[in-house]
């Protein structure tokens, strides 16, 4: 596996590969890699020739300094995992390499950023678009792979791809869960044993939502999910919202033939976990 820390060296390597007729698959990450990331790499491996992974904790998408400071960093272990998965190139840039000057671009996400994570983490998606667009400019992938745990992030990135006119395919990949149902996340490593023990209750609660949709309104289900999660003393729901799968706009009623997604954010002590259910 080749390791790159500069845009120039990675760009040159990938240009050579393209000239040889190879397709480029790209998995952007913030490191602290787990089986969820491994599954993105495996999906990329199956459908593209050269798999590139970036490991970069992007400061512009953190609206909380402590969160940025505490974000787990396990670079050596990450590289070992990527090597074992047969990744061709890993990109490990410094903050200065990614942002030689501050990025002042403000993106228009056609309203998708005004709900859920966008509403609760102001500026977060703008920072995601800043770094992902920079990474796309460097890697110029044919396909980029993103996990569906960050469901709204995928909608945001698809909107950015449309606005900026990138010629690439965004490939959404299924959530990977632990045996107890907890969605894998780099943040799980920060949970105390007590919070880790109750965290699977989030998925257990969400998995009851699809059946409820037959008899209850989105508002009734939202109240039920928040109350049920909050009935666990160690968990506190920040929000649960049901939105249309395509527009990401909150819905008041269910429409036959349209997919909905229920997205939740839950505090487990000091750790903010997200999950969703599509139905």
Return d(Cα 40, Cα 44) in angstroms, integer.
6
DSSP 252: S
3-class DSSP state for residue 33? coil
CB-based contacts of 226: which residues, under 8 Å, 6+ apart? Answer: 237, 239, 240
Least Å distance, CB 258 to ligand PAF, is: 26
Q: Is 133 in the site for ligand PAF (CB under 6 A)?
A: no
Out of 14, 43, 115, 128, name the contact with ligand PAF by CB under 6 A: 128
* Of 134 and 228, CB closest to ligand PAF: 134
Integer CA distances (angstroms), 101 to 84, 137, 173, in order = 35, 16, 33
- Min dist. Cβ of residue 77 to ligand PAF (A): 16
Residue 37 annotated among the catalytic residues of the structure: yes
Per-residue binding letters, 203-242, with ligand PAF (x by CB under 6 A): ----------------------------------------
Which residue in the set 41, 132, 184, 199 belongs to the binding site for ligand PAF (CB under 6 A)? 132
Does residue 90 touch ligand PAF according to CB under 6 A?
no
* Residue 138 touches ligand PAF, criterion: CB under 6 A: no
Query: Candidates 28-36, 69-77, 106-114, 225-233 — which segment interacts with ligand PAF by CB under 6 A?
Result: 28-36
112: Cβ–Cβ under 8 A, 6 or more apart, which residues?
118, 125, 152, 155, 156, 159, 247, 248
Q: Least distance in Å: CB of 166 to ligand PAF? A: 14
Strands (DSSP E) found in the chain:
2-4, 24-29, 50-55, 89-91, 143-147, 169-173, 235-244, 260-268, 271-278
Which span (97-105, 126-134, 215-223, 229-237) binds ligand PAF, by CB under 6 A?
Answer: 126-134
**Does residue 58 interact with ligand PAF by CB under 6 A?**
yes
Applying CB under 6 A, which of residues 117, 142, 150, 275 lies at the interface with ligand PAF? 150
Q: Which residues pair with 16 in a beta bridge?
A: none
Give SS3 for 274. Answer: strand
Q: Structure tokens of 250? A: 């909150």
**131 belongs to the binding site for ligand PAF (CB under 6 A):** yes
Q: Which residues bind ligand PAF (CB under 6 A)?
A: 28-30, 58, 61, 128, 131-132, 150, 153
Give the catalytic positions in this structure.
37
């Amino acid at each position: 596996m080749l390791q790159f820390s500069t845009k120039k060296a990675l760009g040159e390597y990938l240009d050579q590969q393209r000239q040889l007729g190879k397709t480029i698959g790209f998995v952007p990450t913030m490191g602290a890699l787990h089986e969820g990331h491994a599954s993105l790499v495996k999906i990329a491996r199956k459908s593209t020739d050269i798999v590139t992974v970036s490991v970069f904790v992007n400061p512009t998408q953190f609206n909380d300094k402590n969160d940025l400071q505490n974000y787990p960093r396990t670079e050596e272990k990450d590289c070992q995992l990527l090597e074992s998965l047969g990744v061709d190139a890993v990109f490990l840039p410094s903050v200065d390499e990614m942002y030689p000057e501050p990025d002042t671009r403000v993106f228009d996400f056609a309203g998708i950023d005004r709900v859920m994570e966008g509403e609760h983490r102001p500026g977060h998606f703008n920072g995601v678009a800043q770094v992902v667009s920079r990474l796309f400019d460097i890697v110029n992938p044919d396909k980029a792979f993103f996990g569906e745990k960050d469901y709204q992030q995928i909608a945001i990135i698809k909107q950015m791809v449309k606005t900026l006119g990138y010629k690439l395919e965004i490939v959404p990949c299924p959530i990977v869960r632990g045996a107890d149902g907890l969605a894998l996340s780099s943040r799980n490593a920060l949970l105390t044993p007590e919070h880790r023990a109750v965290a699977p209750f989030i998925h257990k609660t969400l998995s009851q939502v699809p059946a409820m949709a037959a008899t209850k309104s989105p508002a009734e289900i939202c109240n039920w999910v928040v109350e049920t999660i909050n009935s666990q003393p160690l968990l506190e729901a920040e929000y649960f919202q049901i939105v249309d799968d395509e527009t990401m706009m909150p819905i008041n009623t269910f429409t036959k033939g349209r997919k909905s997604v229920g997205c939740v954010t839950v505090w487990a002590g000091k750790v903010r976990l997200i999950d969703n259910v599509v139905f």
